[in-house]
Amino acid sequence: MNLLNVIDEIEKKDPEIYQRLDGRRQALKQFASFSGKVAMLAVPVALGSMFKKAYGQTGTALLLDVLNFALTLEYLEAEFYVKGLAAPGLIAAVDRPAFQTISAHENAHVLFLRTTIMSLGGTPVAKPNFDFTAGNGSMAGPFANVFTNYGTYLAVSQTFEDTGVRAYKGQAGNLISSNEVLRAALRIHSVEARHAAHVREIRRRNGLLVPAGVLLQPWITLNQSGIASPLVQPSYNGEELTTQAGINIVGINGFAITAEDASEAFDEPLTKAQVLAIVDPFII
Amino acid sequence: MQNKKLTDPLDKMEGNGMSNVSRRKFINYAGLSASALLLATSCSKKLDETMGENSMMQRNGNVNSEGGGKDGGKAVVNLGSGDIGILNYAFALEQLEAAFYIKVIATPYSGMSDKEREYLTDIRDHEIAHREFFRNALGDARIGGLILDFSTIDFNSRSSVLETAKAFEDLGVSAYNGAGELLQSAQYLLLAGKIVSVEARHAAAIRDFLSYGSFADSTVINSMGLDVYRTPPEVLAIADKYISTRILSQNLPTS
């Protein structure tokens, strides 16, 4: 059976076959070709007008709540990298391009989220004031040397990125009603994971603040932070999970998968409350 | 080999948002009853027997992702519909990745550094964990083992292996990013989320091996700071080069 011929036949009998498209998907498709042509800033606005049509007021409230939560975290990351790049002599020359890349992404995420929130009819939360020493405003917290000691800076960076990955993951289910918002969140989520992997690689290469006996890799082993400070532990607790959907991954189907492998192969979510508790010392 | 083209027009129509009504219409036109299609979807073992040996299996360079396991030897698989279809889609991609890294470690390229071996071995184990997880989670609804074709990869060449690894990892990230919205179950969505960030970590690590600092460059991250996403037909078209088994994806959800 030659399917190409079959489709030709269908077209003969039903010339409108390609027009029998679901209205929303057709709109999306048109949007996809349109978005390539308009300026970057206009894109979230255009997206937002589509969201409102598709989801109405009630579903939008939950989306806005999640988006504003994400925006708070992106503010934190964005300012952290702007300040780090501005701190004289902090970031090693070899790593500067990478942090410029990461900084550009976090700023773009802030812009994207703010514009998306506004186009959904919401109000973006204001940027909080931050204390990157984790001192709750004392500016003399446990990471007091965060902008003068590269090791501390890298450790905080890794923690922010790994926490960001877990935070977005934890919100995915709250976005399931909106294909477009969920897709955008997933596309940010994997960027944060790329960042986390690279910052881990920087720390591995530099050996800064990596405790003796800890093998730091781009992925998370058990609940090991690879950071010599118990303060970051809540960002890693729960990552040691080796059972997924009731299926034990260790030694699965006779393969030599260790607990370390099993924990690395799956990143774990954090709830909004867990994330807010983690970032609380950094927010004044 | 002629019928290998079968998925292309169908997938194209899916990608254009062919509605369920249109799909049913298509099936009627094509002279297949809906129940026959369902039978083909749900009874892959039966399908296996009726399809028998296929000439595609004899193509040079083919390897069975299962390493000769009991599920091996299928010439055609139908991913199915709904969440099961998307999980089978993920299972197919994880089969591809796992088989690739198994071969990378079994036949290491010359000059593989200690760190490259360490990371690539870990990645192999992660992909095996993903593959086996989907196998068990899907149970009887799973597709069989895919026949893979790695004949275009030079496993003795560092650049060939790492460029392929980069392509697979970026493809995997884009696939999960595009598939999340196709899932109905929040539990499956979370599981996909748990895996995609690990694929992104792999992608970053491989990219840093090839060009340090390219972990999230502008070839994958756009000006809004968003990673690539692809629909299943787009992903399967790219993966097609490495998969001899014909993958029928026309019943996958499109929204």
What pLDDT is recorded for position A213?
Answer: 84
Choose the closest CB to A29 out of B17, B30, B186: B17
What pLDDT is recorded for position B219?
Answer: 97
Tokens read off for A270: 């954090």
Give the amino acid at A103: S
Residues 118-137 in A contacting B (C-alpha not used; CB under 8 Å): none
What is the rounded average pLDDT of the residues B33-59?
33
pLDDT over 50 at B53, yes or no: no
Contact B181 A173 (CB under 8 A): no
What pLDDT is recorded for position A210?
Answer: 87
pLDDT over 50 at B86, yes or no: yes
Choose the closest CB to A173 out of B19, B186, B254: B186
* Spatial separation of the C-alpha atoms in residues A73 and A91, rounded to whole Å: 22
Non-local CB neighbours of A202 within 8 Å, separated by 6+ positions = A95, A98, A154
What pLDDT is recorded for position A58?
Answer: 62
In terms of Cβ atoms closer than 10 Å to its own Cβ (0-12, 13-18, 19+), residue B136 is: middle
pLDDT over 80 at B37, yes or no: no
> Block means of pLDDT (10 residues each) for chain A, length 284 residues?
37 40 38 39 45 59 97 98 98 98 98 96 98 97 97 98 98 95 98 98 92 92 95 97 98 98 98 98 97
pLDDT over 90 at B9, yes or no: no
Higher pLDDT, B41 or A117: A117
CA torsion sign, A100 to A182 to A249 to B150?
A: negative
Contact A3 B3 (CB under 8 A): yes
pLDDT band, residue B29 (cuts 50/70/90):
very low
What pLDDT is recorded for position A5?
Answer: 40
pLDDT over 90 at B121, yes or no: yes
Nearest-CA distance A140 → chain B (Å): 32
pLDDT over 90 at B185, yes or no: yes
| Whole-prediction pTM | 0.79
Comparing CA positions, the residue from B224, B59, B225 lying closest to residue B149 is B59
Higher pLDDT, A19 or B175: B175
Comparing CA positions, the residue from A150, A138, A160, A133 lying closest to residue A84 is A150
pLDDT band, residue B23 (cuts 50/70/90):
very low
Q: What percent of chain B has pLDDT over 70?
A: 71
Nearest-CA distance B219 → chain A (Å): 12
Nearest-CA distance A116 → chain B (Å): 12
Comparing CA positions, the residue from B156, B159, B185 lying closest to residue B86 is B185
What pLDDT is recorded for position B75?
Answer: 84
Angle of CA points B92, B147, B15, to nearest 5°:
45
Contact A3 B5 (CB under 8 A): yes
Contact A10 B26 (CB under 8 A): yes
What pLDDT is recorded for position A209?
Answer: 84
Choose the closest CB to A187 out of B9, B137, B177: B177
* Spatial separation of the C-alpha atoms in residues A247 and A256, rounded to whole Å: 15
Contact A198 B204 (CB under 8 A): yes
Mutate: best of B6, B70, B226, B252, partner A, most A CBs <10 A: B226
Let me know: does A103 contact A85? Beta carbons within 8 Å: yes
Residues 58-117 in A contacting B (C-alpha not used; CB under 8 Å): 97-98, 101-102, 104-109, 111-112
Higher pLDDT, B61 or B131: B131
Residues of B in contact with A267 (CB under 8 A): 193-194, 197-198
Contact B126 A261 (CB under 8 A): yes
Q: Which residues of B161-178 are buried (b: 16+ CB within 10 A; e: fewer)?
A: bbebbbbbbbbbbbbbbb
Closest-CA residue of B relative to A103 is B225
What pLDDT is recorded for position A212?
Answer: 86
Pairing of strands B147-149, B62-64: antiparallel
* Spatial separation of the C-alpha atoms in residues A123 and A275, rounded to whole Å: 22
**How far, in Å, are A69, B50, B108, B122, B243 from residue B104 at the CA level?**
42, 34, 5, 12, 17
Residues of A in contact with B9 (CB under 8 A): 3-4, 7
What pLDDT is recorded for position B13?
Answer: 30
Residues of B in contact with A176 (CB under 8 A): 183-184, 186, 189
* Spatial separation of the C-alpha atoms in residues A173 and A265, rounded to whole Å: 20
Residues of A in contact with B25 (CB under 8 A): 14, 17, 20
Choose the closest CB to B125 out of A183, A191, A261: A261
* Spatial separation of the C-alpha atoms in residues B89 and B7, rounded to whole Å: 14
Higher pLDDT, B131 or A46: B131
* Cβ pairs bridging A and B (under 8 Å): 244
Choose the closest CB to B255 out of A102, A179, A249: A179
Please provide the DSSP assignment of A244-278 as one string: ETTEE-TTGGG----HHHHHHHS-----HHHHHHH
Q: State the Rg of chain A over Cα.
A: 22
What pLDDT is recorded for position A2?
Answer: 38
Higher pLDDT, B218 or B45: B218
pLDDT band, residue B220 (cuts 50/70/90):
very high
Let me know: does B239 contact B96? Beta carbons within 8 Å: yes
What pLDDT is recorded for position A59?
Answer: 83
pLDDT over 90 at B239, yes or no: yes
Contact A194 B255 (CB under 8 A): no
What pLDDT is recorded for position B165?
Answer: 98
Interchain contact A243–B (C-beta under 8 A): no
Residues of B in contact with A28 (CB under 8 A): 17
